[in-house]
Amino acid sequence: MPANTTASSPKKKKGRRARLLVIVLVLALLAGIGFGTYWSISTVRASFPQTTGSIEIDGLSGQVDVKRDDFGIPQIYADTDEDLFRAQGFVQAQDRFWEMDVRRHMTAGRLSEMFGSGQVETDSFLRTLGWREVAQQEYDKILSPQTKKFLQAYADGVNAYLKGKDGKELSVEYAALSFTNDYKPEPWTPVDSVAWLKAMAWDLRGNMQEEIDRSLLTSRLDQKQIKDLYPDYPYDRNKPIVDKGGIDPVTGKFDPEAKPSGESDGSSDGDNGTGDGTGNGSGNGTGQGTGSGLNNGGGGSAADAAQGLNSQLSALSKTLETIPELLGPNGSGIGSNSWVVSSKYTTTGKPMLANDPHLAPQLPSLWYQMGLHCRKISASCQYDTAGYTFSGTPGVIIGHNQNVAWGFTNLGADVTDLYLEKISGDSYQVGNQQKKLTTRKEVIKVAGGKSKTITVRSTGHGPLVSDRSTELEKVGQQAPVTNAPDRATGYGVALQWTALQPGKSMDAVFELNRAKDFKTFRAAAKKFEVPSQNLVYADSAGTIGYQAPGKIPVRAKGDGSVPAPGWDPAYKWKGYIPFDELPFEENPDRGYIVTANQAVIDSEKYPYLLTEDYGYGARSQRINDLIETKIQGGGKISTEDMRTMQMDNSSEIAELLTPYLLKIDISDPYVREAQKLLEGWRYTQEPDSGAAAYFNAVWRNVLKLAFGNKLPKELRVEGQCLNVLPADSTAPEDELTERVRECGQRDTDTAQPDGGDRWFEVVRRILKDEKNPWWHSPGNRTEKPTDTRDELLARAMDDARWELTAELGKDASRWSWGRLHQLTLKNQTLGTEGPGFLQFVLNRGPWNLGGGEAAVNATGWNAAGGYDVVWVPSMRMVVTVGDWDKSGWINLTGASGHAYSAHYTDQTDKWADGELLDWSFSEQAVSAKTVDTLKLIPRNA
């Protein structure tokens, strides 16, 4: 097994000398604090993969070639399916095994085995959800024999890499972990791969956070105010994905050309808006009452009742925050852009497809670029595909094969419901009956400590997530419910979620990779049950299309917008929307399809409730407008046009609000200096833009004054404190002596108001109402109360000026958005929780970025928490269908998960600048780009 013997390019040699210098400096730092005796350059480099020469592997039926380009991106060539996926497992483990190992421990609720007692709470919650258990059921009972064969081959490849290696030979993180833990990696199993899809489903689970937030708001706001903060989707302004079609009354199937089957009348199976309690409104549940029999009655004062429910839901929200730290943000931060343009409007005469999923920044990136090629397509070797994969999972998730291309965005379907459950001992109430809780024991092993045993209890709806918090042991003692059983020691909270039922999504991955046309593509999509995604499609024959897949529940009663009463059988799930009745499109007349988390179809034209919590369409409509402008101008759309659209930095809220800001008469010369930055500004958020910096600071302060300071503490940023009137106080607002100190409790990445396009819509609807009550903001010792729009805007401009003076300096002419809006890439385990020196070793950045919240270039930030980038386009691709070698792709980081590898973050600078790498697909193009070739050979061939 020879070492890397292929000659390095001059670029590689220069890069390696630079890295060695950095490694020496790092080791000098480590030596200064006592670790240098153990760490060495050989320790850091021990895990770098062999990328040339040959390696013998058990189980291969023939030689496999792994060709890597100058960015370390591998293209694999084999003669059988099993050899292809066995090699995929081996190669991904070479580059990313630490990441894979952490992921499988997370999905199994076993992080404590690696990281100690600090992860017990997270493990307890994940064991309660039971991802690993469901994945095992899928593998044992649901998945096809062929899929299981491929999963096993992948696992064999991972284990071939692990064979005979100790910790430091796998990654530098294992070397660091060895200081405190004697942890040894276990062999990989097929179920480890299946379980990761559960983690992604959790990341993209829909509106659970909104469901919690709406309930929490009841302690401070009335139903009209809550409705103000969750306005209806603006169908008249922001186009849904599918602009026509309906369910054919004869066939019972969705027909893109059919007239709608009639507006919902409040009684059909698909109508989930029938109200109860304080009322939902009818139709598709567009009214925003609580809708589940929950209100401020049921014993005790309204304030006490609201506080009782707030206590349990706030604690649940806190528990949820520990999971996205490893996976990504949840709620409105999860998004994506994808669009496809027909051959009629492209410069190539073939369709073009673009995709950039938005996720939390991670190091390494969630995605791993790869090509999987059968040297000859046959019954025994069916794949010729390339794109973005998940380390730890075989196949390609997003990309193209020799015939078709596809992209994903989050549909955002409401696939989770929280249920209040009346618990009595080991039973729970349903109607007038008592049903026995299902229980199981889980033993959590803890590195360096004693194991902990927990009991997981479940109702017919799902696991009791309230059991995972001491604060929730007696939940709901004063929960605001009516017509409810005696609360006694309170209510539990159960989670019903489609991903907790075994499904066929892993089968769908392989079928997507083999799809030949729109018919076979839709057949594959039918099995893609969770997470529910918008799938866009294009093929070399010229067809473009869209399919909404997924297991989406039909509720007998309620709309899923707030927790439901579990004891009432009327709130059960009746089933799921049939696949044939889910929206799709094929070659629409307009010649393009855009999906960017907007509404799928007008709720008045579709009888089923998909969700009440779509994105509000700022990004999608901007993309629609860019495409329409090009088409109406008689131009053709090129690959460069698609790339440029992905980097569009325009701010919709800036275009709406800036004219009002410029009309404010500012007397303070320092504030006036900042205001002048907005004069002539075109609302683009480039990294060097001072106007973008100032506007976004003003926007943040507008939201804080008009809305944020009026929200309950459970939604405000942790540590940010306000003087508020007690709930029972009758004193005037401006008498500070009557106020009490109240501090926020929410993580900075998930606090409200986050400033996304829901808040664009909230402000849009009150902007012309100069005396709307939301413009009222209490005074303090230095500021007078505001009563009108212009008074509040002036105060926000003043506050923003002094905030940026502190952040960027006194001279406004030197301000820039990029200095505020920075991205730091962090290793998702030891890079966030490890010692400072280790974070220095593993993390990279910062980068000054353009873009912003709800821009097409969606570098998201949370206005309640600050300006740092909290979610990003995790990759970008532009596919030139049929002329595959002219496609482009880029990853957030690089191919490697090894710190100080040449490919750790070698794509990040280009990603930040909006560049795309050449995406070679044909064997000739791949060979021309190849710099390293590794031959995997059958052992004892």
Query: Greater confidence, 518 or 741?
Result: 518
**Cα-Cα-Cα-Cα dihedral sign, residues 650, 653, 654, 659:** positive
List the structure tokens of 615. Answer: 């994105």
In this model, does residue 732 exceed pLDDT 90?
Answer: no
pLDDT of 159 reads 98
CB 326 within 8 A of CB 342: no
Averaged pLDDT, 280-299: 34
Tell me: the pLDDT tens digits for 819-876? Answer: 999 999 998 777 777 677 788 889 999 999 999 999 999 999 999 999 999 999 999 9
Q: Give the distance from CA 842 to its chain's centroid.
A: 23
SS3 505: helix
What is the percent of the chain where pLDDT is above 90?
69
**For residue 399, is pLDDT > 70?**
yes
How big is the CA angle at 71 (ends 67 and 73), to the nearest 5 degrees?
40
Q: Which secondary structure element, helix H or strand E, spans residue 694, and what is its range?
A: helix 690-706
User: Could you give the CA distance from residue 715 to residue 746 in angstroms, rounded to a whole number?
Assistant: 5
Tokens encoding 222: 């009335």
Q: What is the pLDDT of residue 801?
A: 98
Nearest Cα to Cα of residue 133 among 392, 501, 444? 501
* Residue 63: count of CB within 10 angstroms of its CB: 15
pLDDT of residue 198: 85
Please say if the pLDDT value at position 25 is more than 60: no
Q: Which of 210, 416, 414, 420 is nearest to 295 (CA)?
A: 420
What is the DSSP secondary structure assignment for residue 637, as one 8-state letter? B
DSSP code, position 140 = I
Residue ranges of E strands in 13-111: 53-57, 64-68, 74-78
Q: What is the pLDDT of residue 269?
A: 37
CB of 409 closer than 8 Å to CB of 595: yes
Among residues 375, 515, 368, 367, which one has the least CA distance to residue 84? 375
- The pLDDT, as a whole number, for residue 167 is 83
Write out the DSSP string of 863-899.
TTT-SS--BEE-EEEEEETT-GGGEEEEESS-S--ST
Secondary structure, 3-state, 764-810: HCCCCCCCCHHHCECCCCCCCCECCHHHHHHHHHHHHHHHHHHHHCC
**Whole-number pLDDT of residue 39:** 55
Does 265 have pLDDT greater than 50?
A: no
Q: Which residue has the higher pLDDT, 838 or 266?
A: 838
- Spatial distance between the Cα atoms of 347 and 355, rounded to a whole number of angstroms: 19
Residue carrying structure tokens 């920075």: 822
φ/ψ bin of 258: left (φ > 0), alpha (ψ from -120 to 50), beta (otherwise) = beta
- Residue 551 — left, alpha, or beta (φ > 0 → left; ψ -120 to 50 → alpha)? beta
Number of H helices, E strands in the chain: 28, 33
Those residues with Cβ within 8 angstroms of residue 300's Cβ, 6 or more apart along the chain or in another chain:
308, 478
Q: What is the C-alpha separation between 151 and 136, in angstroms, rounded?
A: 13
Q: How many CB atoms lie within 10 A of CB 795?
A: 19
Residue 247 zone, left/alpha/beta (φ > 0; ψ -120 to 50; rest): beta
DSSP one-letter code for 141 = I
- Residue 690: closest CA among 860, 821, 873, 856: 821
The helix or strand, by DSSP H or E, that contains position 653, with its residue range, turns out to be helix 652-662
In which element (H, E) is residue 601 found?
Answer: none
Q: DSSP secondary-structure letter at 533?
A: E
Instruction: Report the C-alpha dihedral over residues 834, 838, 843, 846, rounded to 10 degrees.
Output: 100
Give tens-digit pLDDT for 881-938: 999 999 999 999 999 999 989 999 999 999 999 999 999 999 999 999 999 999 999 9
Q: Is the pLDDT of residue 470 over 70?
A: no
The pLDDT of residue 13: 46
Tokens of 614: 């779509």
| Alpha helices (H) in 178-253, listed in sequence order | 190-203, 208-217, 223-229
Q: How many CB atoms lie within 10 A of CB 20?
A: 14
Number of Cβ within 10 Å of residue 360's Cβ equals 24
Q: Which 3 state secondary structure label does DSSP give 92?
A: helix
Of the candidates 305, 209, 204, 322, the one whose C-alpha atom is nearest the C-alpha of residue 715 is: 209
Torsion, Cα of 320, 323, 325, 329 (10° steps): -60
Distance of CA 290 to the CA centre of its chain: 26
Residue with tokens 């596919």: 879
Preceding peptide of 480 cis, ω within 30°? no
State mean pLDDT over 84-100.
97
Q: Quick: pLDDT tens for 743-775.
A: 998 888 889 999 999 999 999 999 999 999 999
Per-residue pLDDT for 438 more than 70? yes
- Identify the pLDDT of residue 225: 97
Higher pLDDT, 404 or 314: 404
Residue 489's pLDDT band (cuts 50, 70, 90): low
What is the C-alpha to C-alpha distance for residues 184 and 174, in angstroms, rounded to an integer? 9
Report in angstroms the alpha-carbon separations of 899 from 21, 41, 60, 830, 844: 14, 12, 30, 12, 10
Among residues 609, 654, 847, 652, the alpha carbon closest in space to that of 757 is found at 652
819, 688 contact by CB (below 8 A): no
Q: Specify the pairing of strand 544-547 against strand 416-424.
A: unpaired
Please give the mean pLDDT across all residues of the chain: 86
Phi, psi torsion values for 601, nearest 5 degrees: -155, 150
The pLDDT value recorded for residue 535 is 98
Q: In this predicted model, which residue has the larger pLDDT, 16 or 242?
A: 242
**pLDDT tens readout for residues 107-150:** 999 999 999 998 999 899 999 999 999 999 999 999 999 999 99
* Residue 40, pLDDT score: 61
Tell me the per-residue pLDDT of 660-679, one tens digit each, with 9 for 90 and over: 999 999 999 999 999 999 99
The residue-averaged pLDDT of 587-609 equals 95
Report phi then psi at 827, rounded to 5. -55, 130
Tens-place pLDDT, residues 384-397: 999 999 999 999 99
Contact by Cβ (8 Å): 153, 85 = yes
Q: Residue 316's pLDDT is what?
A: 65
pLDDT over 90 at 368, yes or no: yes
Judge whether 333 and 299 are in contact, CB under 8 Å.
no
